[in-house]
């Protein structure tokens, strides 16, 4: 460094950054704090120290079958991600390793489906789901979420696979490896980190998807997005319970998100910013 | 080394993704296009039939339609301005040497992982509630009258919530771009006596321009279809004050069962999105050529 960072400079920057960060994080922090209050406390004005009661959590669990919704969220997000990976890996694979003239066009077209507004197809999809009995079914919604995220999955895998050097494949081939051996012993180990990152980001996206999951479900297949939305018509004050339910709904994904910052940049910018 | 065999294998491997996406997107879209020229009401099937462009005319003459387009654009533009300007400032701040940088980053990125209904409900009840919200507490502390956010300024309230959700995304992308800026260039500029402002304008900003473009495009795609935040907070009201195009289409289709009009709205939403998509594809496509 040409210039030593002065302690004063660092102190000011640190203070400013922490203040801004805490302000941004505040709504989440306050939700967590409120979840440990009683309903009485929750509306008694601003207070950062809760009494520490767990009654809201107990009530959320007891009423309305909270864990059914939680389970649905897990099934839908993990299931749709696995399904998407299964379908996308071969596609991304062949586009990365044996690209043709049309590879770019196919990738762009896939991306363009992502830009189609969901409302434009709301009614046809609704009809199709209703007439095939898929409305409010986990299978239907899993497929739906898979399709929504498929373009991102293909793209992310494509950008990861493209970084695997082709020479390694040639070397393996020279050594007499069959296509099958090549895939299992050479490519798969190198592709695992990329696939894992892709899965992580897509579980997050599927978990938070809040259009189809709300519109195509009622009770059986309803995940946490639908459950939380049902709190929107207030019958009395229930903020501690709302906070407890919200905390449970966002905690797992928040923690996963913290580990996926880098993949997030890559996945959501389609490799345009690294 | 693309032999005939590997080429057909490649086609076979790509086919499932392409066919699925095609069936999922194009087929329902054709249905929507067809419905948009039909009078179709599942509750009153006798009058169903072809009506030409009258759905578009009806949708157009509906005062809610123009205001919904306007609201859509206001949401997109306002959130973009807040998140891009805020994101640049935050990225510059977080790029400084600070203690606890890892934790600060985690705190800043967190809102992005909060599902939209939770974000909206937390803001609606705990932050912006005119009686018990934190904003009301702050207002009272300074002796001011608390603001009835969702009654008086519904669109502003929604913009604030959505901006809170997307500011982390913008910050993260811009920070990533900022950190890839060559340190030596910065030092050279500093040695030449360039002040902070001129370094920012002539070195940093041009370097970030690509990331800024990407942020704008990707956010626009998502912001055009803001839905859960409106459903949970204002339900489009009061009146149509906070109804955007997706929400209007939803109301027409699933609440009023005016499928023809809703489909016409859907087609208009597609056209709007395609205008944006056109520019987005060009920006991403350029990157592919590298």
pLDDT tens-digit map of A170-187 = 777 777 777 777 777 877
The whole-number pLDDT of residue A3 equals 52
**Using a CB-CB distance cutoff of 8 angstroms, which residues of chain B are in contact with residue A88?**
17
- CATH number for the region A65-236+247-268 comes to 1.10.3720.10
Q: Which of residues 141-180 of A touch B (CB under 8 A)?
A: 147, 150-151, 154
Give the phi and the psi of residue A272 in degrees, each rounded to 5. Answer: -75, -25
**Which residues 6+ apart lie within 8 Å of B108 measured at CB?**
A20, A21, A24, A25, B90, B94, B168, B171, B172
Where do the DSSP E strands lie in chain B?
Answer: 38-39, 49-50
Given the cut 0.95, state whether the ipTM is greater than it.
no
A74 touches chain B (CB under 8 A): no
The pLDDT score that the predictor gives to residue B184 is 74
Specify the pLDDT at position B289: 52
Residue B288: which pLDDT band, with cuts at 50, 70 and 90?
low
CA terminus-to-terminus distance, chain A? 24
For residues A30 and A47, the answer to whether their CB atoms sit within 8 Å is no
Would you call B20 an interface residue with chain A, using a CB distance cutoff of 8 Å?
Answer: yes
Q: Which residues of B touch A31 (CB under 8 A)?
A: 118, 122, 126
**How confident is the model over B45-72, as pLDDT tens digits?**
666 677 778 888 887 788 888 889 899 9
* Strands B49-50 and B38-39, sheet pairing: antiparallel
pLDDT band, very low/low/confident/very high, at B285 (cuts 50, 70, 90): low
Cβ contacts (< 8 Å) between B20 and chain A: which residues? 87, 147, 150
Number of Cβ atoms within 10 Å of the Cβ of B234: 23
In angstroms, the CA B252 to CA A4 distance is 63
Listed by number, the residues of chain B in 104-133 with a beta carbon closer than 8 Å to a beta carbon of chain A are 104-127, 132
**Between chains, do A121 and B116 touch, taking CB under 8 Å as contact?**
no
* % of residues, chain B, pLDDT over 70: 92
pLDDT of residue B8 exceeding 50? yes
What phi and psi values does residue B195 have, to the nearest 5 degrees?
A: -75, 175
Residue A155: name the closest of A108, A223, A193 by CA. Answer: A108
CB A51 within 8 A of CB A169: no
Average pLDDT rounded to a whole number, residues A13-27: 92
B223: Cα separation from own chain's centroid: 2
* Predicted confidence band of residue B82 (pLDDT cuts 50, 70, 90): very high
CB A30 within 8 A of CB B134: yes
What is the per-residue pLDDT for A272?
Answer: 65
- Is B273's CB within 8 Å of A116's CB? yes
Q: Given A87, A106, A115, which is nearest B273 (Cβ)? A: A115
Structure tokens at B230: 């409106």
Which residues on adjacent β-strands are paired with residue B50?
Answer: B38
How many Å apart are CA A253 and CA A195, to the nearest integer?
18
- In order of A166, B31, B55, the CA distances from B47 in angstroms are 63, 19, 14
Q: Inform me whether the C-beta atom of residue A126 falls under 8 Å from chain B C-beta atoms.
A: yes
CA nearest to B168, candidates A20, A121, A116: A20
Task: Count Cβ atoms within 10 A of the Cβ of residue A60 and give its class: 0-12 exposed, 13-18 middle, 19 or more buried.
Answer: buried
Architecture of domain B17-289: Orthogonal Bundle (1.10)
Distance of CA A207 to CAs A56, A203, A252, B116, Å?
Answer: 23, 6, 10, 11
Q: Do B99 and A261 touch (CB under 8 A)?
A: no
Question: What per-residue confidence (pLDDT) applies to B111?
Answer: 93
Cα–Cα dist A158/A31, whole Å: 39
Least CB-CB distance to A123: which of B14, B173, B259? Answer: B259
Average pLDDT of the segment spanning A63-76: 85
Q: Is A206 exposed, middle or buried (0-12, 13-18, 19+ CB in 10 A)?
A: buried
Question: Which chain B residues in 237-266 lie under 8 Å from chain A, judged by CB atoms?
Answer: 245-246, 249-250, 253-254, 259, 262-263, 265-266
What pLDDT, in 10s, does the model give residues B212-224?
A: 888 888 888 888 8
For residues A107-125, give the mean pLDDT: 82
Task: Give residue A163's pLDDT band: very low, low, confident or very high (50, 70, 90).
Answer: confident
Instruction: Judge whether residue A28 has pLDDT over 90.
Output: yes
Q: How high is the mean pLDDT of chain A?
A: 83
Q: Domain ranges in chain A?
A: 65-236+247-268
Of B271, B284, B241, B214, the residue nearest B75 (C-alpha)? B241
Given a cut of 50, is residue A233 above it in pLDDT?
Answer: yes
pLDDT over threshold 80, residue B172: yes
User: Does the global pTM surpass 0.90?
Assistant: no
**Mean pLDDT of all residues in A239-246:** 86
What percent of chain B stands above pLDDT 90? Answer: 19
pLDDT(A157) > 80: yes
Q: CB A1: neighbour CB atoms within 10 A? A: 7
Nearest Cα residue to B232 out of B78, B114, B125, B73? B125
Closest chain A residue to B246, measured at CA: A119
> Lowest-confidence range among A59-63, B140-144, B163-167, B263-267?
A59-63
Chain A residues with CB-CB distance to B187 below 8 A: 1-3
Rounded Cα distance, B267 and B35, in Å: 10
Contacts of B116 in chain A (CB under 8 A): 208, 210, 225
Contact at CB, A117 and B224, closer than 8 angstroms: yes
Which tens digit of pLDDT belongs to each residue from B254-277? Answer: 888 788 888 888 888 888 888 877
**Residue B164 has what pLDDT?**
96
Shortest Cα distance, chain B CAs vs residue A274, angstroms: 7
Which of these, A149, A151, A243, A247, lies nearest to A204 by C-alpha position?
A: A149
Nearest alpha-carbon partner for B222 in B81, B114, B76: B76
Q: How far apart are CA A214 and CA B121, in angstroms?
A: 15
Token pair for B167: 């500011």
Residue A2's pLDDT is 42
Q: Work out the minimum CA distance from B174 to partner chain A, whole angstroms.
A: 9
Average pLDDT over residues B2-22: 79
Record the tokens describing residue A177, joined without a space.
Answer: 């490896």
What residues contact B269, with CB distance under 8 A and at least 6 apart? A117, A119, A120, B224, B225, B245, B246, B249
Which of A:239-268 have CB within 8 Å of B?
Answer: 239, 242-243, 246, 249-250, 253-254, 256-258, 261, 264-265, 268
Among A residues 26-55, those touching chain B with beta carbons less than 8 Å apart: 27-28, 30-31, 34, 43, 45-46
* Residue A38 per-residue DSSP state: -
Biggest CA–CA distance in chain B, Å, is 80
DSSP codes of every residue in B184-231: HHHHHHHHTT--HHHHIIIIIHHHHHHHHHHHHHHHHHHHTT--HHHH
Look-up: residue for tokens 């493209």? A162
B12: exposed, middle or buried (C-beta count within 10 Å: 0-12, 13-18, 19+)? Answer: exposed
What is the radius of gyration, based on Cα positions, of chain A?
Answer: 23
Cβ within 8 Å, pair A13-B93 = yes
Q: Is B215 in contact with B169 (CB distance < 8 Å)?
A: yes
Mean pLDDT (whole number) for B216-237 = 85
Q: Where are the beta strands (DSSP E) in B66-172?
A: none
Please give the mean pLDDT across all residues of chain B: 84
> Cβ–Cβ of A121/B266 closer than 8 Å?
yes
Give the residue extent of every domain in chain B.
17-289
Pairs of CB atoms within 8 A across A/B: 304
């Amino acid at each position: 460094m040409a210039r030593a960072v002065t302690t004063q400079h660092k102190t000011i920057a640190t203070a400013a950054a922490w203040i801004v960060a805490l302000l941004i994080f505040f709504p989440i922090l306050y939700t967590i704090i409120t979840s440990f209050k009683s309903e009485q406390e929750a509306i008694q004005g601003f207070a950062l120290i809760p009494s520490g009661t767990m009654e809201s959590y107990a009530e959320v669990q007891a009423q309305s079958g909270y864990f059914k919704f939680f389970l649905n969220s897990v099934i839908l997000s993990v299931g749709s991600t696995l399904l998407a990976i299964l379908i996308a890996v071969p596609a991304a694979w062949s586009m990365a390793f044996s690209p043709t003239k049309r590879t770019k066009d196919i990738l762009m077209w896939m991306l363009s489906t992502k830009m189609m507004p969901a409302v434009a197809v709301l009614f046809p999809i609704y009809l199709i789901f209703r007439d095939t009995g898929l409305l409010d079914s986990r299978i239907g919604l899993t497929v739906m979420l898979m399709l929504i995220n498929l373009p991102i999955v293909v793209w992310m895998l494509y950008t990861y696979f493209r970084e695997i050097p082709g020479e390694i494949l040639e070397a393996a081939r020279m050594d007499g490896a069959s296509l099958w051996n090549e895939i299992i012993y050479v490519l798969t180990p190198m592709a695992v980190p990329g696939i894992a990152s892709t899965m992580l980001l897509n579980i997050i996206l599927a978990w938070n998807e809040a259009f189809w999951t709300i519109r195509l479900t009622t009770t059986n297949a309803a995940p946490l997005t639908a459950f939380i939305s049902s709190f929107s018509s207030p019958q009395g004050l229930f903020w501690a319970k709302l906070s407890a339910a919200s905390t449970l709904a966002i905690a797992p994904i928040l923690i996963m998100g913290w580990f996926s910052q880098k993949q997030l940049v890559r996945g959501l910018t389609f490799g345009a910013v690294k | 080394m693309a032999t005939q065999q590997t080429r057909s294998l490649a086609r076979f491997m790509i086919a499932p993704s392409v066919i699925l996406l095609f069936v999922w997107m194009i087929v329902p879209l054709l249905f929507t296009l067809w419905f948009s020229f039909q009078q179709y009401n599942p509750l009153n099937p006798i009058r169903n039939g072809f009506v030409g462009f009258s759905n578009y005319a009806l949708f157009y003459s509906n005062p809610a339609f123009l205001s919904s387009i306007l609201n859509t654009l206001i949401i997109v533009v306002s959130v973009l301005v807040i998140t891009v300007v805020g994101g640049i400032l935050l990225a510059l701040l977080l790029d400084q040497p600070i203690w606890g940088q890892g934790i600060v980053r985690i705190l800043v990125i967190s809102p992005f992982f909060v599902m939209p209904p939770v974000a909206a409900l937390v803001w609606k009840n705990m932050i912006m509630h005119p009686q018990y919200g934190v904003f009301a507490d702050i207002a009272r502390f300074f002796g001011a009258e608390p603001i009835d956010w969702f009654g008086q300024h519904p669109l502003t309230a929604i913009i604030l919530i959505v901006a809170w959700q997307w500011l982390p995304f913008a910050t993260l992308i811009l920070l990533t771009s900022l950190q890839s800026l060559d340190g030596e260039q910065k030092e050279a500029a500093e040695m030449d006596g360039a002040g902070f402002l001129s370094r920012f304008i002539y070195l940093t900003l041009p370097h970030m321009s690509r990331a800024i473009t990407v942020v704008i495009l990707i956010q626009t795609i998502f912001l055009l279809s803001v839905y859960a935040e409106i459903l949970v907070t204002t339900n489009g009201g009061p009146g149509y004050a906070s109804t955007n195009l997706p929400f209007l289409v939803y109301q027409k289709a699933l609440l009023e069962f005016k499928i023809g009009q809703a489909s016409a709205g859907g087609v208009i939403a597609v056209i709007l999105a395609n205008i944006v998509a056109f520019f987005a594809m060009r920006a991403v496509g350029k990157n592919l050529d590298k």
